[in-house]
């Protein structure tokens, strides 16, 4: 009895499932029919517009307006692209300029730091020589120091030639003497004879208005074509900082000597 009832329920379930699938299929058919009807209505409207001159003209005008609008938008985008590209170029150029400026500042900082790293006069002169060779790129040059009592500029260091090849000169005389007396950097003729009296450039070393000495550059390294803006910055830096360093080292050396003399005198008195 129970088996018969289970069989009936199973059959009923199968029939119900069949009806459900049939209902789903009908729903799909209705949807597809709706879609096709809308499409037919759309095509009919287009056909109507195409067949009616007024409707067609409206459609044409609308399309032209849309194209003009899109053209305008395209032009705006192209203008903005050009603007952004221009800005990028400008930023790239600025980046290079800043990088160069940064390198130049590093060179100036290193030169300045080294010049004031010692109070030993011979060390200071050695550092000036290093700066002129390595940072400026000079092959032949001399460094002069002024004797304030005699007003004679005497070479204390030279590169590329013997120091004896650079004769001492009187303050205010010759290119070196004039540069030191006036405090103005003197530029010679690059195609000149290259004699000790005719340097390419002469940089006076001064502490405020007090003349200290000069750097006379006669020849640049063969790979160096000429002076760069950084070289001129270095000339300005050397003109002030090298002079201060030489002046401080000389004062320190004098005070050391005096201190030793006084100490010796005190020792003599107290013994």
Partner 1 sequence: MARHRILIVEDSPTMRQLLVFALKRLKEVDIVEAQDGMDGLRKVSSDHFDLALIDINMPVMDGLKLISLIRGEDNLRAMPIIVITTEGAQEDRERAIALGANEYLAKPIQANRVLRLAQSLLKAE
133 binds partner 1 (CB under 8 A): yes
Residue 114 is a binding residue for partner 1 (CB under 8 A): yes
In 3D space, the residue among 252, 192, 241 whose CA is nearest the CA of residue 212 turns out to be: 241
DSSP, res 52 = S
139 is a site residue for partner 1 (CB under 8 A): yes
DSSP states of 198-222? S-SEEEEEEETTEEEEEEEEEEE-T
Give the range of 3-11, 42-50, 99-107, 235-243 binding partner 1 by CB under 8 A: 99-107
If one asks whether residue 112 binds partner 1 (CB under 8 A), the answer comes out as no
- Interaction between residue 120 and partner 1 (CB under 8 A): no
Give the CA distances from residue 242 to residues 171, 172, 239, 259, 264, in Å, rounded to whole numbers and listed in that order.
Answer: 19, 21, 6, 25, 33
Q: What sign does the CA torsion over 83, 89, 95, 101 have?
A: negative
Q: Does 158 bind partner 1 (CB under 8 A)?
A: no
State yes or no: residue 236 binds partner 1 (CB under 8 A): no
CB closer to partner 1, 82 vs 103 = 103
> Nearer to partner 1 by C-beta: 222 or 270?
222
Of 28, 100, 101, 148, the one binding partner 1 (CB under 8 A) is: 100
Task: For residue 216, state whether it binds partner 1 (rule: CB under 8 A).
Answer: no
Smaller CB separation from partner 1, 197 or 233: 233
Q: Is position 106 an interface residue for partner 1 (rule: CB under 8 A)? A: yes
For partner 1, the binding residue among 50, 221, 251, 266 (CB under 8 A) is: 221
Q: Nearest to residue 144, comparing CAs of 157, 131, 135, 133?
A: 157
* Interface residue with partner 1, options 121, 124, 125, 127 (CB under 8 A): 127
> Quick check: 244 binds partner 1 (CB under 8 A)?
no
In the structure encoding, which two tokens stand for residue 68, read together?
Answer: 């003009």
Q: In whole angstroms, how close is the CB of 230 to partner 1 at the nearest point?
A: 8
Distances (CA, A) of 152 to 66, 146, 195, 247: 88, 6, 19, 16
Distance CA 129, CA 120 (A): 14
Closest among 202, 212, 213, 149 to 174, alpha carbons compared: 202
Structure token pair of residue 131: 């700066």
Beta bridge partners of 201: 187, 217
Q: Which of 55, 137, 154, 233 binds partner 1 (CB under 8 A)?
A: 137
Residue 130 C-beta: closest distance to partner 1, Å: 5
By the criterion CB under 8 A, which residues form the site for partner 1? 99-100, 103, 106-107, 109-111, 113-114, 117, 127, 130-131, 133-137, 139, 221-224
């Amino acid at each position: 009895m129970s088996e018969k009832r289970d069989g009936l329920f199973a059959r009923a379930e199968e029939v119900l499932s069949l009806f459900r699938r049939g209902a789903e299929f009908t729903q799909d058919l209705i949807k597809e029919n709706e879609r096709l009807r809308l499409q037919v209505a759309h095509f009919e409207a287009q056909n109507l517009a195409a067949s009616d001159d007024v409707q067609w003209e409206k459609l044409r005008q609308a399309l032209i307006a849309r194209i003009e609008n899109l053209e305008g938008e395209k032009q705006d985008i192209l203008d903005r692209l050009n603007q952004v590209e221009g800005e990028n170029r400008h930023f790239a150029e600025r980046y290079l300029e800043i990088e160069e400026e940064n390198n130049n500042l590093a060179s100036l900082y290193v030169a300045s730091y080294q010049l004031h790293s010692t109070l030993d006069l011979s060390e200071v002169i050695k550092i000036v020589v290093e700066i002129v060779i390595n940072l400026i790129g000079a092959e032949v040059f001399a460094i002069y120091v002024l004797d304030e009592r005699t007003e004679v500029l005497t070479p204390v260091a030279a590169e590329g030639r013997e120091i004896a090849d650079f004769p001492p000169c009187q303050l205010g005389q010759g290119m070196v003497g004039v540069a030191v007396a006036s405090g103005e950097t003197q530029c010679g003729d690059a195609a000149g004879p290259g004699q000790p009296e005719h340097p390419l450039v002469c940089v006076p070393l001064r502490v405020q208005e007090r003349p200290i000495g000069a750097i006379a550059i006669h020849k640049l390294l063969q790979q160096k074509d000429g002076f760069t803006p950084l070289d001129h910055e270095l000339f300005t830096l050397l003109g002030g900082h090298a002079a201060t360093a030489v002046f401080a080292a000389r004062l320190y050396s004098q005070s050391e000597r005096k201190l030793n003399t006084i100490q010796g005198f005190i020792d003599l008195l107290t013994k």
